[in-house]
Amino acid sequence: MSKQERVCDRKGKKNASRVACKLIKRPKKADVPPEELCNYCNGKCCRYIALPIDKPTNYEEFDYARWYLYHEGASIFVEDGDWYLIVYTPCRELDENNRCRVYPTRPQICRDYSVDKCEYDDHYLFDQYFETAEQIEEYAQAILGPRPGGSFRTPRPEPSGSMEM
């Protein structure tokens, strides 16, 4: 998003060029016929993958969650008690106009997804959301108590002595 678009998004039409405002203005889902909705969307549902994962119940399992979260673009969310790994990465077949290049042969999971329940105007509000290893560790400690063996964090290196000349 350009600087102009960001300004427009936050402060409205008066503070940005008409062109930028026109680009980001989107109708509400309820105001658009379902068959036209994707024309107003940036391909939101094609920009991540999400997979169910087991709810971690001990430190060994929380370590897997920590490993996921060390990776760029990975987060974990919890919805209705179910845990999911989500990786923000756009589909390679999403074209520059936010349309599917392989629409006639798209995977079944894409076919099963419909605009009726899609996230067009959702705001990604989850029951729980973890973006970093530190967040999941804090949560683990809150429900399991202190980690056996101490912190997972790499110890700080000892300060080196003065360099001999």
Binding stretches for ligand SF4 (CB under 6 A) = 37-38, 41, 43-46, 91, 93-94, 100, 102, 106-107, 110, 115, 118-120
Query: 78 by DSSP, 3-state: which?
Result: strand
Token pair 């107003």 in the structure block, residue: 40
Q: Which is nearer to ligand SF4, 35 or 158 (CB)?
A: 35
Query: 118 by DSSP, 3-state: which?
Result: coil
Total residue length of the chain = 165
CB of 119 to ligand SF4, least distance (A): 5
CA distances from 36 to 7, 41, 92, 103, 108 (A): 28, 10, 23, 16, 21
Q: Which is nearer to ligand SF4, 7 or 43 (CB)?
A: 43
Q: Which is nearer to ligand SF4, 52 or 107 (CB)?
A: 107
CB of 35 to ligand SF4, least distance (A): 10
Strands in 89-151 per DSSP E: 128-130
CB of 111 to ligand SF4, least distance (A): 8
Q: Which is nearer to ligand SF4, 30 or 163 (CB)?
A: 30
Separation of alpha carbons 105 and 139, rounded Å:
42
Q: Which is nearer to ligand SF4, 114 or 160 (CB)?
A: 114
CB of 83 to ligand SF4, least distance (A): 22
Query: 79 by DSSP, 3-state: which?
Result: strand
CA distances from 100 to 2, 88, 93 (A): 24, 17, 6
